[in-house]
Amino acid sequence: MKLAVVGATGLVGTEILEVLQEHQFPYDQLLLVASERSKGKVIEYMGKSHVIIGLEEAVAAQPEITIFSAGGSTSLEWAPKFAAVGTVVIDNSSAWRMDPSKKLVVPEINAKEIGAADKIIANPNCSTIQMVLALEPLRQRYGIKRIVVSTYQSVTGTGKAAVDQMMAERQGKTPEMVYPHKIDMNVLPHIDVFQPNGYTKEEMKMIKETKKIFSDESIQVTSTTVRVPTMGGHSEAVNVEFKQDFDLAEVRSLLENAPGIIVQDDPANFVYPMPIHAHKKDEVFVGRLRRDESQPNTLNMWIVADNLRKGAATNAVQIAEYLLENKLV
């Protein structure tokens, strides 16, 4: 089986290669694809030398699966070309997420929606993935009326240039500016571009994608997304109103027994999820579970995950694993 990774030299692409190795993903040939400026470079991976190839060459090779992490414009142009030669594309960008003809997949929630005809599959936004994964077992039990989420998102979500800006600022150097303001020792209530309604594109992604993944337009969602000077992962304060009342002990049990979730909820001993501990982990970490005492049937929770892992690379690799296990390629 031929597997291609488009954007193999970027932050997420590098993480995809690590996850493929850790998961022992079975392929016969690996094609590493990047931009023209990276074409011809050699990457050492799992004891072998891999020459970076271009997109045209990758399409001509007709891989069974291609994982894209190269930005929306590249995905819009090239994903259909791969699909046309029979390749299943798993796309990490926002290009296809809200296309009604494309599946938006978190494997633990809705992988069963994938069929043999699906040649372009969308990976959700990183902050959406960790939230919906933590909410899914509770949604199944109690139903969800409304979600209020505030995020604390790592600079790694913007890419290497943003990390370079923060580290240069930390060292007292003058950086190339990726953000409109300094990010080190600061907080920016601004992720992606502002929309006419006053929300950012990132906030609208969380609102729209959550409804699509849950296949429920009746769920009310509002979001404030914030960039913080951290590495290792995104954090979220989530306030969720259920259709039914809940028992906190049952909530904890449901989360502890759900796939891909680790509960860290012992505040008396200072145990709660933090990005520094989520770094390089595939799981979503949940804690600070407590009843909202201001209104009925409402829970407060704190959700943390490595945005480059479950928020991107791990989720994509899990989709690829599902395709293989169910003979969809």
Cα angle vertex 94, ends 20, 153, to 5°? 75
Cβ atoms < 10 Å from Cβ of 204: 18
> Cα–Cα distance between 259 and 137 in angstroms, integer?
9
Q: Are 246 and 142 in contact (CB under 8 A)?
A: yes
Residue type at 302 in one-letter notation: W
Half-sphere exposure (CA, 13 Å, Cβ side) for 190?
11
221, 211 Cβ separation under 8 angstroms: yes
Active-site residue, selected from the candidate residues 50, 234, 277, 279 = 234
Exposed / middle / buried, residue 150 (Cβ in 10 Å: 0-12, 13-18, 19+): middle
CB atoms within 10 A of CB 163: 17
Q: How far apart are CA 96 and CA 258, in angstroms?
A: 28
DSSP 187-225: -BS--SPBPTTS-BHHHHHHHHHHHHHHT-TT-EEEEE-
Q: Looking at this protein, which amino acid is placed at residue 190?
A: H
90-103 core/surface letters (b: 16 or more CB in 10 A; e: else): bbbbbbbbeeeebb
Query: Catalytic site residue 279?
Result: no
Q: How far apart are CA 8 and CA 37, in angstroms?
A: 13
CA distance 213 to 323: 18
Residues in the chain: 329
Of the residues 23, 126, 181, 190, which is catalytic? Answer: 126
The tokens describing 302, both together, are 């704190």
Look up 126 and say whether it is catalytic: yes
CB count within 10 Å of CB 198 equals 7
Please identify every residue annotated as catalytic.
Answer: 126, 234
